[in-house]
Amino acid sequence: GHSERRIYFNEDDKLLNKKTLLALKSRLTVIFCCGEGLLEREQNIYFQVVNNQLEIGLFSLPEEDFIKIVIAYEPVWAIGTGLTATPEQAQEMHYFIRNLIKVRYGKVVADQTTILYGGSCKPSNAAEIFAMPDVDGGLIGGASLKKEDFCAIVNAI
């Protein structure tokens, strides 16, 4: 469900659900990406967008499969655009996602689910983002290609 797969290959949540089931059957670790675009953010429907992505893409899984999933929140509007989500915006969405999991699977599963942040994390914002209580780490893109930047992000954890 990475944003580029959703955009360039028109992968929708129903297809992502099928791919997730197949990956789990093959004993692969699934990192399921979700997130909203700039227009959805501006229209203030970003919670609805992410809720729909998770509901259709993941929440049909039984608990024994869901606990194997890693979720990555990627605000698409903050990837490669020069815009950056604030730590508070990242926390707000991570909290929202964790609460959706809690409602569906219970508090124990919600607390144990890894939720990564994947929206232009870089050395200058990593420590603040990773300090948020519901952000469990990062899905690092472009910054992983620069050794110094990547090492600085790792050290921020």
74 has catalytic annotation:
yes
Listed residue (127, 47, 45, 39) closest to 83, CA to CA = 39
148 has catalytic annotation:
no
| Three-class secondary structure assignment of the chain | CCHHHHHHCCCCHHHHHHHHHHHHHCCCCEEEEECCCHHHHHCCCHHHHHHHHHHHHCCCCCHHHHCCEEEEECCHHHCCCCCCCCHHHHHHHHHHHHHHHHHHHCHHHHHHCCEEECCCCCCCCHHHHHCCCCCCCECCCHHHHCHHHHHHHHHHC
Question: Active-site residue among 2, 36, 40, 94?
Answer: 2
Question: Active-site residue among 36, 40, 74, 94?
Answer: 74
Residue with tokens 């290609």: 145
Which active-site residues does the annotation give? 2, 74
